[in-house]
Amino acid sequence: MDVLASFRLDGRVAFVSGGGGAIGSAIAVALGSAGARVAVADIDQAHAEAAAEKVRTAGAECLALSGDITRESEAQRIVDAIVERYGHLDIVVNAVGGGAGKVLFDAQEYPRDAWDWIMELNLRSTLIATQAAVREMVKAGKGGRVINISSVRATLGINAGYSAYVAAKGAISSLTRQWATEWAKHGITVNAIAPTFVDTPQVAMLLGDPAFKAGLVNRVPLGRVGETDDLVGAVVFFASASSSFVTGQILGIDGGLTATQ
């Protein structure tokens, strides 16, 4: 067995939902570098175009698409456009999400509109993009890969007004196991990464607070927050033949944070 070749994605087509974002665009570049043809889809067209340009610079084909992934019709349109362009779809990565730092409320007062927004952004986006992609994979009958982005917040509470986000990420981890169980018969594996704080614009305000950052970093055995490049190797692993017998797993990428709890 050529172990390095088993990590290659030549001939595969990858759809990165939220691929215009900080983490999504790093993942899109990594999948392209590993040989996949990539489609990035984002509600922000300029972000999608910029990410696609980075993937092309890395030497891969990339399609930039825009749309609201929380809407079934738009997710379907995006998947149809990918299949029309590339002929098939093998990998979906769900990188729409976040928002927690913008709606911090005490748990007993957590407002319904903020709750619904976080659920839509994180959980519904993951559900809708995955359903559209997996319907296509099941129809084609050649298996596939679903990769979700959960968070250490799926398992660890945080004393900072995060009720809706922890609930959404907990649900994403549960769905990862549920989908893995249901879709194994179609040759589709489903796994997730669960990062701690990653240095991105989403969390810039929180990480910009020296007391918050010091408290966080002090609890991380490897002594720092994550970088987007810390995440991409695991995604390529889950996307590739090297993880053929791995499904329903949630891989902490957290510098050892959850190992201490």
Ligand X SMILES: NC(=O)c1ccc[n+]([C@@H]2O[C@H](COP(=O)([O-])OP(=O)(O)OC[C@H]3O[C@@H](n4cnc5c(N)ncnc54)[C@H](O)[C@@H]3O)[C@@H](O)[C@H]2O)c1
Instruction: Provide, rounded to whole angstroms, the least separation between the CB of residue 172 and ligand X.
Output: 8
Q: Spot the catalytic one: 86, 110, 162, 165.
A: 165
* CB nearer ligand X, residue 26 or residue 134: 26
Residue span binding ligand X (CB under 6 A) among the ranges 1-9, 66-74, 175-183, 240-248? 66-74
- Give strand pairing partners of 198: 226
Q: How far apart are CA 193 and CA 232, in angstroms?
A: 10
Residue 200 lies near ligand X (rule: CB under 6 A): yes
Closest by CA position to 14, among listed 239, 193, 241 = 239
Residue 195 lies near ligand X (rule: CB under 6 A): yes
Instruction: Provide, rounded to whole angstroms, the least separation between the CB of residue 245 and ligand X.
Output: 26
* Tokens matching residue 6: 């088993």
Q: How far apart are CA 10 and CA 36, in angstroms?
A: 5
Q: Is 165 a catalytic residue?
A: yes
- DSSP conformation class of 254: S
* CB nearer ligand X, residue 37 or residue 47: 47
State the DSSP H helix or E strand holding residue 17, giving kind and residue range, or none if neither: strand 13-17
Q: How far apart are CA 188 and CA 180, in angstroms?
A: 7
Residue 97 lies near ligand X (rule: CB under 6 A): yes
What is the x/- site pattern for ligand X, positions 4-33, by CB under 6 A?
--------------x-xxxxx---------
* CB nearer ligand X, residue 184 or residue 206: 206
* Tokens matching residue 57: 């610079």
- Whether the CB-CB separation of 92 and 145 falls below 8 Å is answered with yes
Question: Residue numbers of the site for ligand X (CB under 6 A)?
Answer: 18, 20-24, 42-44, 47, 68-70, 95-98, 121-122, 125, 149, 151, 195, 197-198, 200-203
Q: Which residues are catalytic?
A: 165
